[in-house]
Amino acid sequence: MIQNGDCDLAHGSRKLAASKIIKPQTWLRRFTAKIFRGLAIYWMRVPASLSDTQCGFKIYRGEVARALFGACRSDGFMFDIEIILRARRKGYHIKEFPVEWTCDRDSRLSFTRSPKQIISELKTIKQTLQKEHA
């Protein structure tokens, strides 16, 4: 995808029909992921065409990665959202690819602590990007 010039960023997606899920997420994780997706699309303006912003499989062209990560201010769980938004503003093309994935039941996300942290990180990203482009 990247080598043949189809895109600047290639993101793995667990949501594509061709993806193979070996061990699925719990119903609670799937439910909260849907809520997060809504937040990402409607509040943060992440393109709805990206079906899975938090999948860890990502590939970047070298110069694109250096530019995006050099400008990134986030260092928490939500840095992916900042990278996507910065890529979009720079006009970089993002394409998704199917993955084979197994749920890690030993995730560091906590359903009691993480929602507050996620909202706080997203708010900081939104404010940072608004200030930069004011």
User: What is the 3 state secondary structure string of 35-95?
Assistant: HHHHHHHHHCCCCCCCCCCCCCCEEECHHHHHHHHHHCCCCCCCHHHHHHHHHHHHCCCEE
Backbone phi and psi for residue 118, each to the nearest 5 degrees, phi listed first:
-65, -50
Per-residue pLDDT, averaged over 84-104, amounts to 96
Residue 90 confidence class, pLDDT cut points 50, 70, 90: very high
What's this model's pTM, rounded to 2 decimal places?
0.90
The domain ranges of the chain are 9-132
What strand order describes the sheet that includes 58-60? 58-60, 9-13, 94-98
Answer yes or no: are the C-beta atoms of 48 and 15 closer than 8 Å.
no
Write the pLDDT tens digit of every residue in 51-66.
999 998 999 999 999 9
Write the pLDDT tens digit of every residue in 5-36.
899 999 999 999 999 999 999 898 889 889 99
Both structure tokens of 2: 């990247």
